[in-house]
Chain A
């Protein structure tokens, strides 16, 4: 008889691993054994819990007590107090920053309380390396229903009713995409999963793959039945080794259970999945480039039509869906399209997973119903801006997206509403920026990325983004000239209209959106040779302003090369010969006294 009375769900996501969750786990397991509790207490390493800001994290079930910022040194006391004597340890629990209240129960912590776990329903709850636990939570019921009780047309109809739109960023209706492929002629068709999550700042797909890989496999099986495919590939970034490992284990276990391979569940339906690793090319997240990459070629997009639904991988009808899109499918089949469409807005149904990061307190993974406002996301869930800094903008949609300023924070998360304010929903990366951020520098950062990742095939993207980048670099170096902004705008619109693929077509978006809302910052760089946010090194003097200096000595204490002289009650002075322009003093000064 199983005597396990307590389950310790320890987050084993990449973020927590970087804060030494493995060392903590080892120490915890050893101490539990030492105390003779191994039969009663089970430690499970789960996928990403979501609250990366306070990792390593652990959930104690069945009580639901949430522990955070765990260290190896905490182990003996924790095991003795909570697991042996039954007294939860308060100092390891979450403290709400504004009210200073300790909140032991995970469901009451604001970060989690506002979320809705549909895609993320198994995160932190199951061991992702055990198929039985996935099945135990109704896993593969959707695939069974699709294969045994539904026709392809019925599956597609359910998808259309649900209103599910592609979660990779473009938002194309999934049901319609599948219908095109279903109707395409051909015996060989492919189901592809885009796990190449390339947007910098996005880690939603990584977390789904690490926490619940079977959800993606199940989605692909249902897709295969809908379009009548025999083979599927998951194109996964090579930069996600843990996700790849867990997918490999999941596929092996699914094959062992007869859920992949020949004659699945005795229905006579054959379908199998293989993993293909990327090699570090952002453009391979674009559907046609991804297919060329699987074919062993340079990842260069091609014009459409023909669309992949008719001619895709190896010129066969192919559907490519994002990880998050696929993870939604099993529940849509099990619970019905109408259930899914019951949440969200008129045009954007269901939930969306966001990766909240940057200058925000509660960094991590968040799933909310469509229609939630950006303000709720950043302030109620995100906990607002850290330190004494102010909100300046939030970047949505990565290098293809735009920056939303304060006046539009009440915009609801909805595909069309976000486009109206100059950004895109994108894959889900949400980067919050405080007033220490230079928007010209951010535009330059994104354009640098686009230039670097451009495949080089079409002139507008290859040459056009290079010219825009050169101009932005000029601004950041204090060499901007009158007329430059007009050139950038003209170039940007030409590139958007004529580039071959989505990378080029959306590449100019960050520049255009920052120009729309922060034109004054550009003008300060060009006409006054001044960076209002004090980030562009060539425009900074590296001098202390005596009238603002409070003589606290903080800069002196942190300078790594001892370039600052200071004595108590005296203004600090920076020696420019020794200064290496590392910006540490700028960051430390609480009074913005350095220029």
Chain B
């Protein structure tokens, strides 16, 4: 019975659907909660497949175009799967002045990985983020939950190789 309510998707397990429904149900009566719901659902699945967007729009009683419109507006939301390790390179002004461009360029070349993309083997995803607020350590790169400061182009690959 529960399976009939949930669209099939390779990246979303039944357990995840359970958590997703909890998020929707606890937020559906709060006005303006769609952004919170999208964020929490993305935290569960790792990204927002279109089937999930449809399910959210049904659950919150909003049109699909409205939910899609909101999801596509905010940089936090992704419609493509992410890699096992998320690399966030800070593109804030201080990091830019201190050479983050060269760091990103090195990552592009070494892993054939562009900003916003994921490597073919789904090992890494690269995002250029707009300022993490750690400007005292520019240039800054965050890999998963680990923050690295004073990152240089020649040292960044060494760091990344530690992540399988």
Chain A interfacial positions (CB closer than 8 Å to B): 14-15, 17-19, 52-53, 55, 197-203, 206, 238-240, 276-282, 293-299, 314, 355, 357-359, 363-364, 395, 398, 429, 431, 433, 437, 442, 445-446, 449, 452-453, 455, 558, 560, 580-584, 587
Number of A-B contacts (CB under 8 A): 154
Report B-chain residues with C-beta under 8 Å of the C-beta of A240.
133
Chain B interfacial positions (CB closer than 8 Å to A): 31-36, 38-39, 69-70, 73-77, 91-99, 102, 105-106, 109, 129-138, 140, 147-149, 152-154, 157
Given A277-B39, A431-B97, verify A582-B154 contact (CB < 8 Å).
yes
* A296 and B35 contact, CB distance less than 8 A: yes
A sample of 26 cross-chain residue pairs with beta-carbon separation below 8 angstroms, ordered by A number, consists of: A15-B137, A52-B136, A200-B93, A200-B95, A200-B96, A201-B135, A202-B131, A202-B133, A203-B133, A203-B135, A278-B76, A281-B73, A294-B32, A298-B69, A357-B136, A357-B138, A363-B136, A395-B93, A431-B97, A433-B97, A452-B130, A558-B154, A560-B157, A582-B106, A582-B153, A583-B102
Instruction: Please give the distance in Å from B157's CB to the nearest CB on chain A.
Output: 8
Shortest beta-carbon contacts, A-B, top 8: A52-B136, A200-B92, A280-B75, A296-B32, A279-B74, A18-B147, A357-B94, A203-B133
- Of the candidates B39, B102, B148, which one forms a contact with A279 in the assembled complex, judged by CB atoms under 8 Å apart? B39
Instruction: Please give the distance in Å from A309's CB to the nearest CB on chain B.
Output: 20
* A358 and B32 contact, CB distance less than 8 A: no
- Of the candidates A280, A295, A580, which one forms a contact with B109 in the assembled complex, judged by CB atoms under 8 Å apart? A580
- Of the candidates A239, A277, A442, A455, which one forms a contact with B36 in the assembled complex, judged by CB atoms under 8 Å apart? A277
A453 to B135: give the CA distance in the assembly, Å.
Answer: 20
B133 to chain A: closest residue by CB? A203
A299 to chain B: closest residue by CB? B73
A395 to B92: give the CA distance in the assembly, Å.
Answer: 13
Q: What would 10 more interface pairs be, CB under 8 Å, given A560-B157, A582-B102?
A: A14-B134, A201-B93, A296-B31, A296-B70, A358-B97, A363-B138, A395-B93, A442-B97, A581-B105, A584-B102
B149 to chain A: closest residue by CB? A18
Given A358-B93, A584-B153, verify A18-B133 contact (CB < 8 Å).
no
A313 to chain B: closest residue by CB? B32
- Of the candidates A15, A281, A587, which one forms a contact with B75 in the assembled complex, judged by CB atoms under 8 Å apart? A281
* B147 and A17 contact, CB distance less than 8 A: yes
Report A-chain residues with C-beta under 8 Å of the C-beta of B131.
198-202, 239
Report B-chain residues with C-beta under 8 Å of the C-beta of A437.
97
Report B-chain residues with C-beta under 8 Å of the C-beta of A442.
97
* B93 and A431 contact, CB distance less than 8 A: yes
* A238 and B93 contact, CB distance less than 8 A: no
A238 to chain B: closest residue by CB? B76
Given A281-B73, A582-B153, verify A15-B35 contact (CB < 8 Å).
no
Instruction: Please give the distance in Å from A142's CB to the nearest CB on chain B.
Output: 27
Report A-chain residues with C-beta under 8 Å of the C-beta of B94.
200-201, 357-358, 363, 431
Q: Quick one: which of B73, B76, B98, B99 has the most chain A CB within 10 A?
A: B73
Instruction: Please give the distance in Å from B35's CB to the nearest CB on chain A.
Output: 5
